[in-house]
A and B are shown apart, each in its own frame.
Chain A
């Protein structure tokens, strides 16, 4: 087994909101009344049914409540055993699914405030992602600017399946704000289900939705690259979270081939897609969609042609690996250090802020 090293950054952990009513203290009177008067149900996304095997490792599943809803469990099961200096919290509460941008805005604000009070304030290793009401770019920018004042927010969080492809120009003010404030955009698996969850329609099964996340990441990367997001925002980093990464080489071969053939359509894409990925795109380590033999995996790393793309993640409490095997078998100690420490720090500039060092000294 490849051992983790101390001082790493876990770039994808999922604290769970116990219930929509947990957000009531963080909502204003109007929205508190809306939630209670209308009898609103909990915002559980079917991307992660709480009882699904992938939503929690069997030995991480709490006796009651949602997986990931206990800070004590997260400490004992992830933060302590993997010896991380920081863990980045990516809440997957289903606030993006609602269709009213006003409601989404209220819930996102409450969720971000809840994260600060219930998690970030209670363990100095925790850092947060700003969840935004993506349907309204204006409100999203305002929420980013509001939360970014707290330096413990290190990233903006979006879902891989939303209303529009992520490269669309309408979203660019979000990217401008993130770049200006030193925040990468994290794109996490999951859908707001405003479009069918696959590009060929609605499948029958939960497993289809989950497998299809990888294809959604591929189409989003195409959109981000060919629309020119990184020509406009060269310093913006985007992190694909829980995306898988073994699809990346073959995907880039194809994109590169078509870019060579029809780049006249998008002349602002002035660098090869692979170069853009190397400079601006990162991937969380889990899940590793590959057989467990080191030879295959090392070939795949070789096909990726860079050791700077991967960021350590446990995807806690989701079930991606067993025991302590957060890192794959047979990778070099240099690569372990890159994945666990160097790459995350190079991506999340806010982890290096002086305030951060003081609070964790």
Chain B
């Protein structure tokens, strides 16, 4: 490893016995919206207080579907010194990073400036959240690595932010969300992929986001559980769009990570794409190879929420189809559907596969091996 990891846990900590892991989906939060103001031009402070973020959804403040827990987070994850779950580095260290022996934690900040309609504000918030990650998180704990948050609907502004951060070891990926104004393969997003490929950074696509489109092709459903399950369908469609628009044909070195959207659906989607590509390839001549090949080569998958079939052999068969070399362990700390590291992978995996799953794939992908 070419980075300094905290190699030994505190004496007496339960982590001593635990194998080192990478957690590829951690959500740091702000204690208050004002926590970002030092990183944001003054012009925006009063703007935010007067008009809000003006997102692609109706609620001024909060999600369109009420979560099952406050902030969709564990009730035991409130820091003792106040603030919402995930807003205290010291408590995150104490509750999660140290006891679970997390040697690499990838930060995916949510509720930033993505999915909002004012693009100048979106770009300003993206820059601010990136500076905030360095100042408050990655600069204070070398185990943590940041995601370059970008103004997702403004390709040139997003590309500029990526180029500005390129080479900065505080960041290991570019962050997008799955739900945008258009499917992610569309041209408005191409500058993002160009810049990411040039910078040698993978693009993480985290489930969620707002783009103004109903979360089903039949309009808005009623319940939070439909939104939760529906993110995986959004991710499938977003990935199909990237493949069929030729993103991977144009960017042969680009890697992407599907974050928190499941991976069990990948084989079926790949087979469906292949079958229809054989029939309909005259419509998409820029897609030169069977879609499953692009997916197998370019796509990585974080594990949480882990596929959880009744029978263990079913899980292992699906992992064989997806590839043991493509899975990145994640807990989603501090969210309520957190996956406990010790219980995620059932017995039966080889030692090499287990290590790849929990740590080595991530180190390799993020260039930290």
Contacts and interface: CB of A to CB of B under 8 A. Distances in A.
Interface string A50-69: 00111000000000000000
Contact of B226 (A161, A215, A226, A291): A226
Given A201-B211, A205-B244, A258-B225, 11 more contacts: A54-B280, A200-B179, A200-B241, A207-B244, A212-B240, A223-B221, A226-B223, A251-B232, A254-B229, A261-B68, A290-B268
Contact of A289 (B181, B216, B272): B272
8 contacts: A54-B279, A195-B216, A199-B237, A206-B280, A219-B226, A226-B223, A250-B307, A253-B309
A194 B220 CA distance: 12
Nearest to B240: A211
A165 B214 CA distance: 10
Contact of A199 (B181, B215, B275): B215
B interface, over-half SS: loop
A349 interface: no
B264 A250 contact: yes
Contact of B180 (A201, A212, A291, A319): A201
A257 interface: yes
Interface string B213-237: 1111111111111101110111011
Nearest to B264: A250
List the 5 shortest-distance A-B pairs measured between CB atoms, nearest first.
A250-B264, A289-B272, A219-B216, A215-B233, A247-B268
Contacts of A121: none
Contacts of B244: 203-205, 207-208, 211
B284 interface: yes
Nearest to B216: A219
Contacts of B182: 200-202
Interface stretch (A19-27, A70-78, A176-184, A262-270): A262-270
B309 to A, nearest CB: 5
Interface string A154-172: 0000001111111110000
Task: Output the residue of A197, A254, A256, A302 with the most chain B CB within 10 A.
Answer: A254
B318 interface: yes
B133 interface: no
Contacts of A215: 217, 233, 236-237
Contact of A201 (B181, B216, B272, B336): B181
Which of B182, B230, B275: most chain A Cβ within 10 A? Answer: B275
Contacts of A223: 216, 218, 221-222, 226
B259 interface: no
B178 interface: yes
A226 B68 CA distance: 15
Which of the listed residues A202, A207, A256, A290 has the most CB atoms from chain B within 10 Å of its own CB?
Answer: A207
B157 to A, nearest CB: 20
A350 to B, nearest CB: 27
Interface in A230-278: 244, 246-247, 249-251, 253-259, 261-262, 264-266
A223 B223 CA distance: 9
B61 interface: no
A131 B336 CA distance: 44
Nearest to B184: A200
A210 B219 contact: no
B328 interface: no
A299 interface: yes
B155 interface: no
Interface in B253-281: 262, 264-265, 267-269, 271-273, 275-277, 279-280
A109 interface: no
A247 B269 contact: yes
B103 to A, nearest CB: 27
Interface in B294-314: 305, 307-310, 314
Given A207-B277, A207-B283, A212 B222 contact: no
A76 B226 CA distance: 44
Contact of A253 (B269, B283, B308): B308
Contacts of A168: 221-222
Contacts of A46: none
A231 to B, nearest CB: 14
A219 B225 CA distance: 11
A257 B308 contact: yes
B226 A165 contact: yes
Interface in B175-209: 178-186
Contact of B309 (A52, A163, A249): A249
B276 A207 contact: yes
A265 B68 contact: yes
B245 interface: yes
A156 B185 CA distance: 36
B106 interface: no
B337 interface: yes
Contacts of B217: 160-161, 191, 195-199, 212, 215-216, 219
A214 interface: yes
B256 to A, nearest CB: 15
A220 interface: yes
Contact of B218 (A164, A226, A249, A299): A164
